[in-house]
Structures are given as structure tokens and as C-alpha cells.
Structure 1
Amino acid sequence: MNKNKILSDAILIERYQKGDKKMISFLIKKWHLQFCNFAFWIVKDADLAKDIAQESWTIIINKLDNLKEPEKFKSWAISIVNRKAIDFLRAKQREQNKLQSLYFDSKTENIALEVNDNSVLKQKLASAIRKLSIEQQMVVKLFYIENYTLKEISKILKISIGTTKSRLFHAREKLKTKLKHINYEK
């Protein structure tokens, strides 16, 4: 029978902590695939899941000497994989928000820069739009500037049509409140 199947995690870790560094290979053989599968369940990308599992192993190996309760290895290690996967998703979301913000800010400024009879009104509208939440800005800009339908916006933003309608409604209400004092006469 395979040695890593016979030995428990606690025994492997205790031996590793006592200096038998070969024991780490048994832990890796035993748990790596499960860590990859767990990361994949979160990030939905096989290559990325492998990278996350690998980065998690680096942390696990560096902290394994200090693990006080070796019998709790599985939950401890899974929590590390979970945090790494979630950190990746958060970083990806921040990057996506930053790119969307840059894109939408440039579109809003383009409106403000158009020179015609309504340039002051457009500048105030662009300023009011920038004061909306990022989520509302995206819906307003996709709907009014890019001329997407509510259904298309919901697919682009990966939200329900109801959420899209709600964001657009609330954005309009905020814009009405912010712009109600503007004199529309020339």
C-alpha cells in the first residue's frame, strides 16, 4: 500500500517538523489535486487554479514548521487556498473596476468637451454622472452613451435585468435631484 495513504497528515507533519523534509512530498501528493480542485471551484479556470494551489503550497511549506495542531492540517491548508483564490478574484475585480472607470470617465469627459449650445448643461451632467456610484455610472453610460439595451447591459455587467433597471432608475433619480436647480435657458 502507498505510504502517503497509510500515514496520517498529523504523522507526516510531525515527522516534517522533526526534520524529515521528505514528508512534504507525501503531503503534496496527497493534497495537491484536491487543492487544485478547490481553487477551480472558486475561480473557474484550471490553469489559474493550479497557480493558486502552487502559491498556496509555498505559504503552507513556509508555515508548516509553526503549525501547532497537525491534525487540523486539512482545514488550515484549505483556508490558505481559499484566501489565495479569493484574493485573486478581488484583485481581478479591482482591475476590472479600474479599467471600467477609466473607460467611462473618458466617455463622460468626451460629452463635456463637445462644444455647442448645451455645453454648460453637458458639463454639469457629466459632473453629476461622475458623482454616481461606479455601478450606476456604468449602467447610465452603457444605456445613454453606448445605446445598449437593458438586456445587453445585464449580459455585459453579468447582473440581472431587474438589477439593471433598478440601477438605471436610481441613477436617474439621483441625477434629477442633482440637476433640478440648473437653469436650462441659454
Structure 2
Amino acid sequence: MSADRLEEVLDATYDCLTRYGVRRTTMDDIATTMGVSRSAVYQYVRGKDDACRRLAARLHDQALERARRAAAEELPHAERVQGVLAAKLGLVLELNGASPHTTELIDHKARLFGGICTAFTGDLRRLLIGLFREAGTTVGVEPAEAADICLALVTGLESVTDGERLLRPATQALLAGLLSTPFDAGR
């Protein structure tokens, strides 16, 4: 299977989802967007659900890679935590901005994408727990609790108009209470 052609199928699927949503998108729509026959699309995916699932997985994998890079950078822990959270927020804002239909791709309750979304959040949680273990947390807060608090923060920021701008000050304020060592809030 040609990886490039599969990427074209997923790009066409994304285009269709932004216009029609998951339920109304058809294999004919995907094929037409690509400029190929429907049978040509079936060479790369088993059907619309498979194409949508693979698209959701690709988007989540890309965001997870951004989060992993942020967690591995040689920066203060606070900035690394913020980078992990920015990867999650960026995915949500990208999909919210593309179309009201694309938010289906990040719905952890959706039949097609729920497992992908849940696994993504679990992976982010593990990254954050690792960062908090390295940095140390304030007395009475376990690394897993700190990770859950951070994920709750970014989930809240996903629903406000200015969430991206608020990420840095919100993360700095939150981490001031969670990390055992102070950090430079001016950075």
C-alpha cells in the first residue's frame, strides 16, 4: 500500500468531513474529492468508517508526537508541561476551527473515535506524570493528581474563546501550586 496515496485518502476524508460531517460523508464524496473512482479508494481503506478512524488516529498521533517532543526538550519542567498541554489544546482548536463537523474526531464518546481519543488522553497523562515525577510535586499532591489537574485545565481552556492565549498564564498559575520548586514565571 502506498503511504502517499493513503495520505491523499485521509486528506480527502478530512476535506469531506469539514463539509458534510461523518454521517453525511460517503465513499463517493471521498473519491470525488481525490479525483479517482470509489474502487480506487477501497484499495487503501475498507470503507468510510475505516477512513475516518485512520484520519482521527493520524491527527491524534501528530498531536501526541508534538507532546512527546515538548516533554523531551531540555527546558524547565513548567515549560515542558505547558508544551504537552499546548499539543492537546492545539489539536482541539485546529479541529474546532476547521468546521463544526470536525469536532467529532475528538469526541471520546463517539463510536468510531472514542478509543483513539481515550488512548491519546492516557498517553498525555503518562507524559505529564513522568514530568511531575522528575520535577517533584508540592506536598500532598501526587504526580498522577497533578497530571489530572493539568488535563482538566486544558479541557476547560478548550471551551473558551481565548483558550490559546490563556494557556501560558493559566499553566503558570497552576504549576506554581503543583511543582515543588519555583520556576521563572517571566519566561
Using the size of structure 1 for normalisation, the TM-score is 0.32
Higher relative contact order (CA 8 A, sep 6+): 2
More helix by share: 1
TM-score by length of 2: 0.32
